[in-house]
Amino acid sequence: MRKRKVSGDTQENEDSWRDKRYSGQGQGHGTVRVVRVSAVVWLCLGLAVGTVCGGPWLKDFVDILRGYRWNYIDRCILETPEDTGFGVDFCRTPVNCDMCRDVDTVDEVHVDDLSVEEFEARYAYSSRPLLVRNASLTWPAMDVLNYKWLKDIYLSDPEILEKEGDECWFNRYKTPEFRNLRAVFRMPDSKAAMQYGQPWYVGWAVCHEAVAQEIHKLYNRPDFISPDSTPPKKPWIFIGTPGPGAHFHIDNVDLSSWQVQIAGVKTWYLRPPPECYWSCPGQLQTTLYPGDIIVVNTNEWFHSTKVSGSELSVVITNEYD
């Protein structure tokens, strides 16, 4: 007598067949595992985030947001030759933004109204920029120092221009035709007199002893700088026609400096360093006329210049301590 199959048996058989199927029994198939779609999505998202956060371009992106390139090993700000007045790579320590936090203009004072004590107390070591009017009107350089005088003394001895080295720094800025100081003094006088050609602007350190000695005879230490300060040793000369002067850059020199406008008219533009963009006011601007001196810490302020008017700009610069 045949046993009647009930519905419970049917369900039991079906469950048994399904278990065998997914366990790999019965038909020889491999194990099949079910992965949720949400798990796949989270896995892909994790890979994407990891790639973004660990990618080599993340550092570049962060540098763009900061406004400067950070050296994570030495913990300093990287400057390229394009960013520096000396045309070299160097790494500088971030500045204390107190140097510019309350500076929204370049202070201006007449030389007769500025004592040594006031200069030292307010400006000498504060990195606060200062423009001193009529500070060099009695210097012999005001009547003597020009392109022709410089050309004559540099070409007076063939050995003068032969001296080279790091101390003989030369920057042609955006004047590619002048590869060295020799080229500056071999240009035609008509070009130097701005009778033709494109604007030009150059600067150099007077590392030539004979030239430095003659230049020292033409100027004095500014009256507002302490007599106990180290006497000027190695001046810099900046000279150029009306037009663009120095591009925006920051220097890598030992001390703060003063710069006297011997001839021509030059406008200075100052910006806080990028690490202080959110702490300090924006760009500052001031214009120098013959006889004026600007005092600025060019190691902390990014700066550029523009020569205006119709005359050749001639400038002497010196550090002070």
Q: Which domains does the chain have, with CATH numbers?
A: 97-319 (2.60.120.650)
134 touches 291 (CB < 8 A)? yes
Is 251 buried (19+), middle (13-18) or exposed (0-12) by CB count in 10 A? buried
Burial letters 225-246, b for 16+ CB under 10 A, else e: beeeeeebebbbbbbbbbbbbb
- Cα dihedral 156, 159, 165, 168 in deg (nearest 10): -10
Return the pLDDT at 262. 98
Q: Is the pTM of this model over 0.85?
A: no
Return the pLDDT at 64. 65
For residue 147, the one-letter residue type is: Y
Return the pLDDT at 4. 47
Return the pLDDT at 283. 94
Question: Of 311, 308, 310, whose CA–CA distance to 287 is shortest?
Answer: 308
Give CA angle at 274 (62, 320), nearest 5°: 145
Return the pLDDT at 195. 86
247: Cα separation from own chain's centroid: 9
Return the pLDDT at 39. 74
Return the pLDDT at 55. 56
pLDDT tens by residue, the chain, 321 residues: 444 444 455 555 555 545 555 454 545 555 667 767 777 777 777 776 666 565 565 566 665 666 777 888 888 888 877 666 666 677 888 999 999 999 999 999 999 999 999 999 999 999 999 999 999 999 999 999 999 999 999 999 988 998 888 788 999 998 989 999 999 999 998 898 888 888 999 999 999 989 999 999 999 999 999 998 887 778 999 999 999 999 999 888 878 899 999 999 999 999 999 999 889 998 999 999 999 999 999 999 999 999 999 999 999 999 998
Q: Report in angstroms the alpha-carbon separations of 177 from 11, 52, 98, 172.
A: 96, 45, 41, 8
Give the separation between CA 265 and CA 294, rounded to whole angstroms.
Answer: 13
Helix (H) or strand (E) holding 64: helix 57-66
Give the separation between CA 169 and CA 181, rounded to whole angstroms.
Answer: 10
Which residues are 235's β-sheet partners? none
Give the separation between CA 293 and CA 135, rounded to whole angstroms.
Answer: 6
Return the pLDDT at 88. 67
Return the pLDDT at 2. 45
